[in-house]
Amino acid sequence: MTAELTRRVLTLLFVREGDRLLLGYKKNGFGKGKWNGFGGKVKDGETVEAAAIRELEEESGVIVSYTSLKKLAKMEMEFEGWNELLEIHLFTTHTFCEMRPKWFHITDLPFSEMWADDSHWFPFLLAEKKFIAKFQFRDMETISSFFIKLVDDLNAPS
């Protein structure tokens, strides 16, 4: 006779942009050391869609809309010797709501596609030095004047 298995309902969401897929590296817990989509346990009273969106945000900071979700599968995973069965609800999404995150190396930042002021104060940001600054813009791309000053105390009167 097979023992009754406890069912654990999980989500798994893959964010896709064209031919690229966003994965996360599991640093701890179940699946430690594996690259995977984002997901986790569905809470009591929560829909699998809401859980998929919540887990993605908790684990990656990425927020996607409910309507962008496409449900692709319901899978069951059984592991020999376990008394639990994993029920995985698989989703994909192609949409970032507002900001699409991407890691850049600090020596290869895309300054030509960033705000014009950034290249002036990034050296201080990267060195984690405190500063005060003021920028005046002629238009969205052009700075007409600016100053930057390193400070010890950001709360001190300037």
Closer residue to ligand 6U4, CB minimum distance, 63 or 132 = 63
| DSSP calls for 71-88 | EEEEEEEE-TT-SEEEEE
Give the nearest distance from C-beta 70 to ligand 6U4 in angstroms: 16
Angstrom distance (rounded) from CA 71 to CA 76: 15
Taking CA atoms, 88 is separated from 16, 50, 130, in Å, by 19, 14, 47
Binding residues for ligand 6U4, how many (CB under 6 A)? 14
Q: Which residues pair with 92 in a beta bridge?
A: 14, 70
Closer residue to ligand 6U4, CB minimum distance, 75 or 126 = 75
86 binds ligand 6U4 (CB under 6 A): yes
41 binds ligand 6U4 (CB under 6 A): yes
- The one among 18, 29, 81, 157 contacting ligand 6U4 by CB under 6 A: 29
Cβ neighbours of residue 63 under 8 Å, at least 6 residues apart?
A: 53, 56, 57, 96, 97, 98
Token digits of residue 108: 């290869």
Pairing of strands 20-22, 6-17: antiparallel
Closer residue to ligand 6U4, CB minimum distance, 40 or 53 = 40
- The one among 77, 132, 133, 150 contacting ligand 6U4 by CB under 6 A: 77
Closer residue to ligand 6U4, CB minimum distance, 79 or 104 = 79
Contact residues: ligand 6U4, CB under 6 A:
10-12, 29-31, 36, 39-41, 55, 77, 86, 88
